[in-house]
Structure 1
Amino acid sequence: MTSIPESDQVNNYNSFAEIYNTENESSLENAYYERPATLRLAGDVAGRKILDAGCGAGPLSKELRDRGALVSGFDKSAGMLEIARKRLGDDVDLRVHDLAEPLPYADGEFDDVIASLSLHYLKDWGPTLAELRRVLRPGGRLIASVNHPTADYCIQRMSGHRPNYFEVYRDVGEFEMGGTTIQLAFWNRPLHKMTDDFTAAGFRIARISEPQPDEAGRELFPDVFYLLETAPSFLFFVLEAE
């Protein structure tokens, strides 16, 4: 991954929504690592009102709904939400909305907010976390997963670069999905910056998790499963609204 200027083709999920959805449904990192880990942290969600912040094509929303949660979701990409509506039906409140903007929900509306691999698209977490805190009831939870702060740093070091771990910096990577090359950009930040932002927004850190991948993925991905066994790609937080 390397830092490059902004481009209309970076994070343009509308242009590759179907390809990304297909990859997300069955990939090792999503289907057998991030999504199962998030669901385990959420626990028993029956009857809980949950906001899926950055819901994409809706695979996590569907899992939560199947477990009895009352789910709402939003995403910046209209193309991804079109797939989500086909997956979830018209009875689920899904909205096109940017995570970086004030949220169109009432104060204390939700028991839980889940931000699954969405916060790392933002340079400044402060305003967004304040909004996520606002729409949570007192004692509600924010369950968040983000790129692990050491993952990109190690990749950069192995490729001959030496980024400053303590800085917030943007990286753009090219990924092959379904025979198509797509560009995704993320903002990387050190662990202490994440935890400082969480507490400044009024959250108590209840848990930090570096989970193992789901064992069911071992047989399906025998050549790469060990990579997630020995080094985490994502970092998970359970945060309680104070």
Structure 2
Amino acid sequence: MTVQANDYDSFGEAYAASNETNLANAYYERPAMLALAGDVTGRRILDAGCGAGPLLEALRDRGADVAGFDLSGGMLELARRRLGPDVELRKADLADPLPYADAEFDDVVASLVLHYLEDWGPALAELRRVLRTGGRLIASVNHPTAEYGIERLAGRRPDYFSTWNSIGEWTENGQTIRLSLWNRPLHAMTDAFTAAGFRISVISEPQPAPEARELFPEEFDLLSTAPSFLFFVLHAE
């Protein structure tokens, strides 16, 4: 069965289950985000697009005071089951004004969420607004060369320097999941960050966790030589 693109209410259970143990999320993206966050003890952190809550849980377990939002009610229900009633979770759209006060957070984490948006400007302005001055936005996005390379190998020739849409599919437990993503060049990302009032501190292309080599030998070799994601640490000015 194929569902509507980005309809996480329909495929949330399958996506969340895969996210728990797969190479890309469990042994690459999430460890990289936590490494970039460092010591979060006592920090007030917002997870923008928290999904089923695995990153929120990890940050909470490391001593952070966490809150999160997501557009998908189904994913939020999974997060509530994981995190219990004490963690503040809200339904909100990153493309709209956010239901938080100015300068409410020390950090915002945006894990593989910005690439769902064609226009980053309003979302980044809101993330800057809810951060205190000097606070951090820690973000991961699809690497600008990853989807471009796939398209080129398939005989399509998108303009790397444009912002362009791609729709991909993957199948989990007999359910085909469609994801519509917006790709943009690196300079468009960095320009958007600085225009929103952020100073770029780190641009990272990390390796997968070493223990994944034995668990995923073929995939590990591919991922360790051709990155899928790009990571940023940005400070609110």
Same fold? TM cut 0.5? yes
Q: Which residue of 2 aligns with 1:4?
A: none
The aligned counterpart of 2:112 is 117
Structure 1 residues without counterparts, runs of 5 or longer: 1-6
2:3–2:176 Cα contact (<8 Å) kept = no
CA distance in 1: counterparts of 2:39 and 2:49, whole angstroms: 21
For residues 58-137 of structure 1, what are the structure 2 equivalents within 5 Å? 58-137=53-132
Match of 1:57 in 2: 52
Runs of 4+ in 1 over 3 A off after TM superposition: none
Pairing partner for 2:161 from 150, 166, 179: 166
Displacement of 1:178 after TM fit?
Answer: 2.4
Is 2:107–2:137's contact at 8 Å kept on the other side of the alignment? yes
Q: Which residue of 2 aligns with 1:46?
A: 41
CA distance in 1 between counterparts of 2:211 and 2:81 reads 27
Q: CA deviation at 1:121?
A: 0.3
Give the match's secondary structure for 2:19: helix
TM-score in terms of structure 1 length: 0.96
SS of equivalent to 2:141: strand
Q: Which amino acid aligns with 1:44?
A: D
TM-score, normalization by structure 2: 0.98
CA distance in 2, matches of 1:126, 1:196: 10
Deviation, structure 1 residue 180: 1.5
Matched letter for residue 144 of structure 1? A
SS of structure 2 residue aligned to 1:140: strand
Q: Quote the Cα distance in structure 1 between the aligned partners of 2:185 and 2:55.
A: 26
* Distance verdict in 2 for CA 1:144–1:170, change over 3 Å: same
- 2:169 partner SS: strand
Aligned length: 236
CA distance in 1, matches of 2:32, 2:134: 22
- 5 Å-filtered alignment, 1:207-226, equals 207-226=202-221
Residue identity in the other structure for 1:123: E
Identity %: 70
Query: 3-state SS of the aligned residue for 2:149?
Result: helix
Shift in Å, 1:8? 7.3
Q: Secondary structure at the match of 1:192?
A: helix
Q: Which residue of 1 aligns with 2:193?
A: 198
- Give me the whole-angstrom Cα distance separating, in 2, the residues matched to 1:141 and 1:68: 17
In structure 2, the residue corresponding to 1:16 is in which secondary structure? helix
**Is 1:26 equivalent to 2:42 in the alignment?**
no
C-alpha offsets along residues 51-94 of structure 1, whole Å, 9 cap, x if unaligned?
00000000000000000000000000000000000000000000
Report deviation, 1:222: 1.2
